[in-house]
């Protein structure tokens, strides 16, 4: 097994791991963390694709490498927006939860306004 395949399998495992965390962990912040883990697994798959396609004296195909750079920045922007939402929800309700029981949430919101 060469290095590329090894890291490819690592990427696949990370995608599974991240997906599991995203689905099962109820805390929004932990979901966001899991999303980042899932994302980095996906990026690794890009890296493996790039590495395998090495040619012309390059260590890897620059096209997928450039795509990953674009995607990393997008993932960061997504994380920033999600965290801002979580913190705003905390400010508004004193809780950070995605569960549909919003009775507590609406009470506090009503008291605020």
Partner 1 sequence: MPDANLLPDATTTDGVFLVLAIVLPAAGVLLSFVLGGRYAERIALVLLPSGFILATIILVDVWQSGHRLVYIVGDWKPPLGIALRADGLSAAMMVVMAIVFCAVAIFAYADFGTRAGSAEARAPFAFWILLMAIWGAMNLIFLGGDLFTLYVALELLTFAAVPLVCLDGRAETLQAALRYLIFALLGSILYLVGTALLYGSYATLDIVLLSRQIRAEPATLVAAALMTIGLFAKTALFPLHLWLPPAHAGAPAAASAVLSAVVVKGSFFLVVRLWFDVMPGMLGGAGAQLFGALGAAAIIFGSVVALQQQRLKLLIAYSTVAQIGYLFLIFPLALDAASGQLQGSGALTGGIIQAISHATAKAAMFMAAGLIYAALGHDRIAELGGIARALPMTIFAFALGGVSLIGLPPSGGFLAKWILLEATVATGQWWWALVILAGGLFTSCYMFIVLSRAVAPSGAPLKLKTAVPKYQEAAALALALTSLLLGLVALGPIDIIEVGRPDSIMVGSR
Partner 2 sequence: MTILSIFDIGLVVLILAVGAASIGMREAFSAVIGFVVYGLLLSIAWVRLSAVDVALTEAAIGGGMTGMLMLGAVARLRFAKGNDSRTSLPVRLAAGILCALVAAGLAIAVLSPPEVIPTLAPMAMENLPQSGLGNPVAGVLFVYRALDTLLEKVVLILALLGVWSLAPDRMWGGIPGLRVYAQPNSKLTFLAQLLPPVGIVVAVYMCWVGAKEPGGAFQGGTVLAAMWLLVMIAGLTSVPSISQRWLRLLLVAGPMIFLAIGIAGMVLANAFLAYPAGYAKPLIVAVEVALTLSIGVALGLLAAGPPERVQRP
Within 13-72, the residues that bind partner 1 by CB under 8 A are 15, 22, 28, 31-32, 35, 38-39, 42, 45-46, 48-49, 52-53, 61, 63-64, 67, 70-71
- Nearest CA among 48, 89, 96 for reference residue 68: 48
Q: Is 77 exposed, middle or buried (0-12, 13-18, 19+ CB in 10 A)?
A: exposed
Match 């060469």 to its residue by tokens. 2
Q: CB under 5 to 8 A by kind: which of partner 1, partner 2, none does 109 bind?
A: partner 1
- 5 binds partner 1, rule: CB under 8 A: no
The answer to whether residue 10 forms part of the interface with partner 1 (CB under 8 A) is no
Using CB under 8 A as the binding rule, the residues of this chain from 91 to 110 that contact partner 1 are 92-93, 97-98, 102, 105-106, 108-109
Measured distance between the N- and C-terminal CA atoms of the chain, rounded to whole angstroms:
62
């Amino acid at each position: 097994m060469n290095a590329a395949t090894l890291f490819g399998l690592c990427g696949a495992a990370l995608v599974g791991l991240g997906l599991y965390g995203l689905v099962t962990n109820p805390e929004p912040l932990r979901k966001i963390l899991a999303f980042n883990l899932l994302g980095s697994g996906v990026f690794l798959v890009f890296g493996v694709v790039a590495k395998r396609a090495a040619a012309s004296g390059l260590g890897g195909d620059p096209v997928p490498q450039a795509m990953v750079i674009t995607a990393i920045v997008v993932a960061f922007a997504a994380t920033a927006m999600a965290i801002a939402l979580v913190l705003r929800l905390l400010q508004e309700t004193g809780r950070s939860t995605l569960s549909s029981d919003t009775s507590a949430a609406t009470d506090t919101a009503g008291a605020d306004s």
